[in-house]
């Protein structure tokens, strides 16, 4: 079950929850995550206690080179440019999100949960620490399909 399906399951009434569970039992092949390069870079950056900007700069440089190559498909070029934009927007808004002051760490692989015969795998991008090293939550990085024109 994907994070989107889980979110849908949690807000639905019982009859809608049955539909979500059915769809997950008879799901389609796995979907390749869009913007994967950006998400991986942001995950690596956030779990590093020093949060060095070099992590994001190196990925942006690699994506710039990739997008400039004449040997890649237009869709791959667009994805690389979108990933650069995502990283740059994150850099501009990081302070507003309050992530700089949070104790973030890499998330372990959690055991699979079974909900009415549907295996649910929770894979947060990072854990949010509280006082004295106690875990208080998890963070999942998701990117909107289109940028917010008001941002």
Q: Model confidence over 63-84: pLDDT tens digits?
A: 999 999 999 899 889 999 999 9
pLDDT at 47 over 80: yes
Closest C-alpha among 38, 31, 143 to residue 81:
38
Residue 143, pLDDT score:
79
Which three-class secondary structure state does DSSP give residue 63? helix
**Residues present in the chain in total:** 151
Give the CA radius of gyration of the chain. 18
Which three-class secondary structure state does DSSP give residue 128? strand
d(CA 86, CA 130): 27
d(CA 90, CA 92): 5
Q: How confident is the model at residue 109 (pLDDT cuts 50, 70, 90)?
A: confident
């Amino acid at each position: 079950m994907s994070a989107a399906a889980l979110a849908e399951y949690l807000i639905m009434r019982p009859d809608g929850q049955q539909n979500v569970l059915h769809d997950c039992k008879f799901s389609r092949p796995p979907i390749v995550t869009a913007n994967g390069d950006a998400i991986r870079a942001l995950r690596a950056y956030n779990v590093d206690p020093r949060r060095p900007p070099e992590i994001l700069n190196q990925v942006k440089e690699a994506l710039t080179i990739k997008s400039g190559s004449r040997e890649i498909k237009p869709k791959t070029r667009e994805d690389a440019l979108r990933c650069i934009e995502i990283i740059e927007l994150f850099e501009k808004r990081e302070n507003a999100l309050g992530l700089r002051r949070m104790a973030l760490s890499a998330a372990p692989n959690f055991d699979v949960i079974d909900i009415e015969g549907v295996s649910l795998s929770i894979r947060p991008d990072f854990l949010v620490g509280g006082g004295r090293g106690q875990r208080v939550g998890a963070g999942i990085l998701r990117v909107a399909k289109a940028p917010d024109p008001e941002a």
